[in-house]
Amino acid sequence: MLVVDPSGTRRMRGSAVGRLRALAYAPPVDPDAEIDALIAAEASARRKRTLQSAALIVLGGPWLLVTGVAALLLVVAETTRGRAMGLGFVAAGVAVAALVLAGPHLRRRFAAPAAIALIAFTYACAAAPDGAAIAPTALHPGRGLQSVWTRGATFPRFGIPNLTPEGCQGRLATFLVPFMDAYLDHDEAAAFRGSVSEVYAELEADPSYARAGSVQGIAYSELLTGAEGAGHAWVDFADAPEPQPALVFIHGFGGNLKGYTWVLRKVAHEHGYAIVAPSYGAGLWYQEGGTEAVADTLRWMEESGRFAMDRLVLAGLSNGGYGVSAAVVDQPGRWQGVAYLSGVLDDVDAPRVGAVLAAHPRADGKPPPVLVLHGAADDRIPLGYLELGIAGLRAGGVDPDVDIVDGADHFLMFTHRARLEAAVGRWLGAVEGR
């Protein structure tokens, strides 16, 4: 059949002659090659699907974890910056999911959550405290919390632990840790959460504490990579003449929260003591580096000329009890008083601690006063374990002031602040001979 197209050209369609011509000019087909090509294409598609599935499995878990924790932070945060960080990570997670999982025609939709994440993170960065980071030789003469870096490090202002307010991190932890820690039930976590909110609402109203930011990145780094972080200390001088006596505070497991310094500052300052709180990673003070971190802080204190080095007292919280015991043995005769605040008092270390203190009495001929403050309901360091340590101190020649707080658990430093202030005040009074 002949057909005339609009250009006037005649062509043959559907005729036997046309089909024969097409066959005559078509390249020969190799059936085996065609089958091999199909098999190769199917294998390539299968590999692609396998890689995609593996990527979803490998990356999907972390994605769910980060996005889920961020969503919880968004809900529980009590500050605008904390909510911004939660929103930013949730939006970033949605953007990544849209980009990876959606079809090509839908991927443009990732732009909206990506823009939200960018705005949220930009706000958090702009509002992030600068850490009041200063060189050791430039310790400013004013009062309030100061962040000192004794080994030349700089404050990580734009790190996630500083972008997220420390109080919000603490509240977030009280929701998550009970699922991972058998010693913290949900009721204890709820009580601790309320006290965290109270403490951080107070300290964030103080300009120096608000500006100080957070150094929790030191702790998280050790937990994630094993790197021991040291070379930092919080310093809070009393409104008193210098050189000042100082309370050297050893933080517990989880990092050097500035909330600890805030809780101690009132009673310490009332007695004219500055507070110096060295940081040591996540608080594994039984490691050799823990003793070095305390010694490094003492060297810096002496070089600064602003502390009365013959009037130092030492206190430790929880895991910081290991650091206290090690520092007493490593620095014999240095400490005018020692305190364990819900602290680990190991029955092996305690006799050595008692013996060192008894062998280096103060000017009045008596061993330095020792305070043991502990919660009766502390199941992390139970009373039975504590009593062995107390017996060890006594065997070494020291009779401690033991104060057991009824109804208090391991977090009495935050939940029973009045009782802590009374006990620490009594201990400092004994140090001063009152």
414-427 pLDDT, tens digit per residue, is: 999 999 999 999 99
Specify if 38 maps to a domain: no
Specify if 280 maps to a domain: yes
Domain end, chosen from 127, 160, 190, is at 127
What would the two tokens of residue 114 be?
């990506």
pLDDT at position 165 is 96
Q: Is the pLDDT of residue 149 over 90?
A: no
Domain shared by 216 and 170, yes or no? yes
Specify if 17 maps to a domain: no
pLDDT at position 181 is 86
Residue-wise pLDDT tens digits, 91-117:
999 888 877 776 666 666 778 899 999
Q: Identify the burial level of 431 via C-beta atoms within 10 angstroms of its C-beta, where 0-12 means exposed, 13-18 middle and 19 or more buried.
A: buried
Tell me the pLDDT band of 130, cut-offs 50, 70 and 90.
confident
Domain shared by 109 and 251, yes or no? no
β pairing state of 370-375 and 401-405: parallel
The span from the CA of 299 to the CA of 65, in Å, is 42
Domain shared by 275 and 409, yes or no? yes
Domain shared by 258 and 407, yes or no? yes
Domain shared by 409 and 423, yes or no? yes
Domain end, chosen from 111, 127, 143, is at 127
pLDDT at position 363 is 87
Domain shared by 231 and 320, yes or no? yes
Q: Is the pLDDT of residue 215 over 60?
A: yes
Domain shared by 76 and 212, yes or no? no
Tell me the pLDDT band of 2, cut-offs 50, 70 and 90.
very low
12 φ/ψ angles, rounded to the nearest 5 degrees: -100, 130
More confident residue, 12 or 285: 285
Domain shared by 305 and 209, yes or no? yes
pLDDT at position 136 is 46
Specify if 396 maps to a domain: yes
On average, the pLDDT of the chain sits at 87
Q: What is the pTM of this model?
A: 0.84
Specify if 285 maps to a domain: yes
The enclosing domain of 203 has a CATH number of 3.40.50.1820
Residue-wise pLDDT tens digits, 233-280:
999 999 999 899 999 999 999 999 999 999 999 999 999 999 999 999
Specify if 9 maps to a domain: no
Domain shared by 93 and 66, yes or no? yes
The span from the CA of 386 to the CA of 402, in Å, is 10
Tell me the pLDDT band of 341, cut-offs 50, 70 and 90.
very high
pLDDT at position 49 is 66
CA atoms within 13 A on the CB side of 123: 15
Specify if 283 maps to a domain: yes
Residue-wise pLDDT tens digits, 304-317:
999 999 999 999 99
Q: Identify the burial level of 311 via C-beta atoms within 10 angstroms of its C-beta, where 0-12 means exposed, 13-18 middle and 19 or more buried.
A: middle
CA distances from 431 to 245, 339, 368, 400, 426 (A): 11, 11, 7, 13, 9
Tell me the pLDDT band of 55, cut-offs 50, 70 and 90.
low
Closest to 87 in 3D by CA, of 106, 63, 111, 115: 115
Domain shared by 100 and 118, yes or no? yes
Helix then strand count (H, E) for the chain reads: 16, 11
Domain shared by 108 and 219, yes or no? no
Domain shared by 178 and 235, yes or no? yes
Domain end, chosen from 109, 127, 145, is at 127
Domain total for the chain?
2
340 neighbors 420 (Cβ within 8 angstroms): no
What residue spans of 128-242 are helical by DSSP H?
A: 160-163, 166-176, 186-203, 207-212, 216-225
Range of the domain at 417: 133-431
The span from the CA of 169 to the CA of 165, in Å, is 6
Q: Is 74 helix (H, G, I), strand (E, B) or coil?
A: helix
Specify if 11 maps to a domain: no
